[in-house]
Chain A
């Protein structure tokens, strides 16, 4: 087990290193680092000084090591726009994004599982067919366009929900979140639903497939034969078994939600790190872009690592197969 974890950790470190290479050479070789890293409004003397300070007059390999050293100590440079360290800026915007992604995840579970269960239990029911057609649409509709249509419908035409911003936040148990105030919740509802739509479709399909498969298993027949109520058979025996793949996939999809929040945040002006990324891209605020890319890579690598290790604990065959090769 220890060997397995060490191997995985080494692999993860390798991935981060590889990505840092891609990002570094992307910024420094394909683009002109002087354009990208130095404030375009700087004058000649300032540019000279910045080139010296950033070490741009040194060989590229040396520059890369210098960059790595900065990354290792959490120093990605300062944002041109805000004048703050890029890392601090992103960490400051991170809670709003995590909040949005978590609420979207909860929505996916609360909406997706009951609908999927219904579609799986009564596959010929017209409502079930409607649910499945809806889930196909959910897969095909581009997230950003659905977001726009939601704004038109709920904010402009009906006027029920505010279109932009995060609203009031409150502190509860040491966590600052919009989910604890009425105003915050009304701001949260639309962006979270927008972000959740794809995942809802995914959960519906997974739950439906699981339910249809499990219905013919012996343990369900046995539970029925024992004379248990339908509610208990479905709520306990069936649900418990189909939850395993659903939970696994949703765990993996959490990183996906964080990444996709870029789109949702831009539409609903949600002050998270995705919106920060797009603004930084448009304003050529390169230190922030580089910092965001490295952070999201690390987040993904950590999630994948956690899933790998969890799997190897739950299913020893994964570990054994790896040792065999």
Chain B
């Protein structure tokens, strides 16, 4: 229990930490996690600010010159600025292309993560609360889906649906909802047996209110952990599908598409076209995973002393 210096005059000697303050101080105990969170924040800010901080809009044809194509890192472009990470086959500055690519990769990952979380946790909550036959059917379905790898399910779906951002998000949601459903159902089962839920029932509250206002908030911790890890998975999965040519189109250049574009130049030793987008992808995924790991340690009540 820590005592804060900034206490108001006349206030009691020991101030009790709010749960959020405790969470915050425990999270930042790990230097690696702090670093990862900082890195992740930096990546997100760079991606958000891409149009204002890049020397070039890589998808504005007026700003791209084929004469600048395939330049090694550090070359000076035809239009005068330095391409610190080199340029790709079409003459796009890789640094700019990566920041624009990050926007797409992260939005696809986050969008599919949020949608899968909403759908999966609603289904999991309903299964746990309703019990009986509904629960059996839903959980059988979840078990069935989890016996196939998520990557395979996503691949099957894009095979059927085709390419494009909307279809990739549908495929990722369909591949991942079951993880959320299983997680939420597990903790919702524990919560529904507790007294506060019984009290809410005795007050005559509606089912929807009990499920979403009473049970759901108490299932949030495992949900947040699964959410971070699954978002990292979604970003990696989208990159993989795009690399294989069955994910996003050339007009939606995520990091996976950039890496795929560099593939053809690799044999001639022009490594940078695939290398740097890959590093950006790697840093994003690793930082999300490290943050997720630390969240799991901090939020898991079983690991608490």
Contact = CB atoms under 8 A, between A and B. Distances in A.
Interface in B134-189: 144, 147-149, 151-152, 155-157, 159-162
Tell which of A27, A136, A142, A277 has the most Cβ of chain B within 10 Å: A142
B274 A281 contact: no
B66 interface: no
Interface in B251-268: 259, 262-263, 266-267
Given A148-B278, A282-B246, A31 B267 contact: no
A266 interface: yes
Contacts of B129: none
Tell which of A18, A144, A155, A266 has the most Cβ of chain B within 10 Å: A144
B282 A260 contact: no
B282 A31 contact: no
Nearest to B278: A145
A278 B246 CA distance: 8
Contacts of B157: 26
Contacts of A26: 157, 160-161
Contacts of B271: 152, 156
A45 interface: no
A139 B289 contact: yes
A248 to B, nearest CB: 14
Contacts of A156: 266-267, 269, 271
A163 interface: yes
B288 to A, nearest CB: 9
B39 to A, nearest CB: 13
B209 to A, nearest CB: 31
B159 A145 contact: no
A30 interface: yes
A201 interface: no
Interface in B267-287: 267, 269, 271, 274-275, 278, 281-282, 285-286
Contacts of A281: 159, 245-246
Nearest to B157: A26
B247 to A, nearest CB: 11
Interface in A107-160: 136-137, 139-145, 148-149, 151-152, 155-157
Interface residues of B, number: 36
Contact of B239 (A142, A256, A296): A142
A137 B286 contact: yes
A137 B279 CA distance: 12
Contact of A260 (B144, B151, B162, B245): B151
A304 B274 CA distance: 37
A256 B151 CA distance: 9
B240 interface: yes
Contacts of B161: 26, 30-31
> SS class of chain A's interface: helix, strand, loop or mixed?
helix
B281 A145 contact: yes
Contacts of A278: 244-246
Nearest to A23: B160
Contacts of B147: 300, 304
B267 A300 contact: no
B246 A144 contact: no
B240 A144 contact: yes
Nearest to A26: B160
B275 A149 contact: yes
A206 to B, nearest CB: 17
A136 B245 CA distance: 27
B27 interface: no
B95 interface: no
A296 B153 CA distance: 11
A38 to B, nearest CB: 17
Contacts of A152: 266, 269, 271, 275
A263 B282 contact: no
B24 to A, nearest CB: 24
Contacts of B225: none
A243 B245 CA distance: 39
A218 B271 CA distance: 54
Interface string B71-107: 0000000000000000000000000000000000000
Interface of A: 15, 18, 22-23, 26-27, 30-31, 136-137, 139-145, 148-149, 151-152, 155-157, 163, 255-256, 259-260, 262-263, 266-267, 277-278, 281-282, 289, 293, 296, 300, 304
Which 4 residue pairs across A and B have the least CB separation, nearest first?
Answer: A26-B160, A145-B278, A259-B152, A140-B286
Given A156-B269, A163-B267, 19 more contacts: A18-B144, A23-B156, A136-B286, A136-B289, A139-B289, A141-B285, A144-B239, A145-B278, A145-B282, A148-B263, A255-B149, A256-B149, A263-B243, A267-B263, A277-B155, A277-B159, A281-B245, A282-B245, A293-B156
